[in-house]
């Protein structure tokens, strides 16, 4: 950075957006604004009224460090330690997958089916039991606890470090009292009698070969275990389908996020499970398959 002109907010943003673009960011201006707002301890919108202000030395030092890490490929969500999901703010660390907008379709599918039950006159007195398998930062469990009246949620993850993040997010959102957190392999560690009205999951579904082709930003920074399922990409889903069929109450629903590439394979896996009835796949706004839904007979 040239030392001759003053480093105003506007100039810092222009220079940094250009620098991050050269270092491979797809959203360089947005990244620059988010990181500068973080360094200054203000909102991104507040920067727009400060373009001609000169940044303080301490702010520039903090900003420079964030920009350095961003240019190395660290995702913005990890630098900020937060990501929005379903209009709520969640803490994220390198131990959890960064919440993706696609996963909101799982929440929508769940809330739609809960509404259907209410319309069908199913009593709302008995708490609905909901499991979130592979909870990560806890987004699905917390949305279920917040938005499903009378829900009792079980959030499971194989990673204790992810569970610690999920617990802190649940506490931040006042949902900790309605969620039980369990370390375990899918549903296998639950007591034999545990059953659920709904099971939601965004399981690992990337194949080994797809993982090798992922963007460096994802491959080098997000937890491999959150992404990769095995050679086919459907290995975790295969086990989950069998275990969910055992644990769902009659008429209960399983919602699994998938990638459009494995939709046919996942539908075939569910079709082979005689205890489940396959329903329509939820598509996103671009028409891509996102959530495979099935129901216990
Ligand atoms: C794709 S991430 C989803 C995280 C979060 N639900 C979300 O949507 O952002 C998958 C999560 O499943 C967890 N996981 C992977 N294999 C598992 C297994 N066998 N049993 C339980 N959790 C598992 C990972 O640790 C990771 O947190």
Fold of 84-296: Rossmann fold (3.40.50)
What pLDDT is recorded for position 123? 65
Residue ID of nearest Cα to ligand 1 atom 10: 226
pLDDT confidence of residue 39: 98
Q: Phi and psi (nearest 5°) for 96?
A: -130, 150
Q: What pLDDT is attached to residue 264?
A: 98
Contact residues of ligand 1, CB 6 A cut-off: 96-97, 99, 103, 134-137, 139-140, 156-159, 162, 185-186, 202-204, 225-226, 236
* Residue 165 to residues 103, 157, 162, 176, Cα–Cα distance (Å): 18, 11, 5, 12
Q: Ligand 1, closest atom to CA 85?
A: 9
Report pLDDT digits (tens) over 248-263: 999 999 999 999 999 9
Confidence of residue 117 (pLDDT cuts 50, 70, 90): confident
DSSP 132-183: EES-TTSHHHHHHHHHSTTEEEEEEES-HHHHHHHHHHHHHTT-GGGEEEEE
pLDDT interval class at 2 (50, 70, 90):
low
Our mutation pick for probing the ligand 1 site, out of 134, 154, 225, 235, counting the most ligand atoms within 8 A of Cβ, is 134
Q: What tokens appear for 244 in the block? A: 């969910």
**Location of structure tokens 């702010």:** 59
Phi, psi of 280 (to 5 degrees): -65, 145
Higher pLDDT, 123 or 106: 106
Q: Which long-range contacts (CB under 8 A, 24 or more apart) does 265-270 make?
A: 265/232, 265/233, 265/234, 266/234, 266/237, 266/292, 267/292, 269/234, 269/237, 269/238, 269/241, 270/241, 270/294
Q: Given this model, what pLDDT does residue 11 score?
A: 97
Host H or E run for residue 281: none
pTM of the model: 0.95
Relative to beta strand 179-183, strand 151-157 is parallel
Query: What angle (nearest 5°) sits at the alpha carbon of residue 258, between those of residues 93 and 81?
Result: 15
Give Rg (Cα) of the chain: 22
What proportion of the chain, given as a percentage, has pLDDT over 90?
94
pLDDT level of residue 121 (50, 70, 90 thresholds): confident
> Probe ligand 1: pick from 136, 223, 230, 258, max atoms within 8 Å of CB?
136
pLDDT in tens, 39-80: 999 999 999 999 999 999 999 999 999 999 999 999 999 999
State the average pLDDT for the chain. 96
Per-residue pLDDT band for 4 (boundaries 50, 70, 90) equals confident
Distance 97 CA to ligand 1 centre (A): 8
For residue 124, what pLDDT is reported? 64
Confidence check: pLDDT of 122 > 90: no
Domain ranges, ordered by start, for the chain: 9-72, 84-296
Residue 1 has pLDDT above 70, yes or no: no
Q: How far apart are the C-alpha atoms of 207 and 59, rounded to whole Å?
A: 42
CA distance 166 to 189: 18
Cα distances (Å, whole numbers) of residue 130 to 149, 150, 178, 249, 289: 12, 10, 10, 11, 23
Q: What is the pLDDT of residue 126?
A: 80
For residues 115-140, give the mean pLDDT.
Answer: 89
């Amino acid at each position: 950075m040239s030392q001759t002109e003053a480093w105003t907010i506007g100039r810092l943003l222009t220079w940094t957006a250009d620098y991050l673009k050269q270092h491979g960011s797809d959203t360089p201006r947005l990244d620059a604004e988010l990181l500068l707002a973080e360094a200054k301890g203000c909102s991104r919108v507040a920067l727009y009224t400060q373009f001609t202000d000169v940044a303080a030395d301490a702010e520039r030092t903090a900003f420079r460090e964030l920009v350095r890490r961003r240019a190395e490929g660290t995702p913005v969500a990890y630098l900020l330690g937060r990501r929005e999901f379903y209009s709520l703010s969640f803490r994220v660390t390198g131990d959890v997958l960064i919440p993706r907008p696609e996963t909101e379709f799982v929440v929508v599918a769940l809330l739609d089916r809960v509404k259907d039950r209410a319309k069908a006159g199913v009593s709302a007195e008995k708490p609905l039991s909901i499991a979130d398998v592979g909870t990560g930062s806890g987004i699905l469990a917390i949305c279920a606890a917040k938005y499903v009246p009378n829900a009792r949620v079980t959030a499971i993850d194989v990673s204790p470090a992810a569970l610690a993040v999920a617990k802190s997010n649940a506490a931040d959102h006042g949902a900790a009292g309605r969620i039980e957190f369990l370390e375990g392999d899918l549903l296998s560690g639950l007591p034999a009698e545990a059953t659920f009205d709904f099971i939601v999951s965004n399981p690992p579904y990337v194949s080994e070969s797809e993982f090798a082709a992922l963007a460096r930003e994802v491959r080098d920074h997000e937890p491999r275990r959150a992404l990769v399922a095995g050679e086919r990409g459907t290995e975790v889903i295969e086990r989950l389908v069998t275990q969910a069929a055992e644990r769902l109450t009659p008429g209960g629903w399983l919602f699994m996020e998938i990638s459009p590439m494995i939709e046919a394979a996942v539908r075939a896996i569910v079709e082979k499970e005689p205890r489940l009835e396959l329903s329509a796949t939820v598509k996103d706004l671009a028409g891509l398959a996102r959530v495979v839904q099935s129901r216990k007979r």
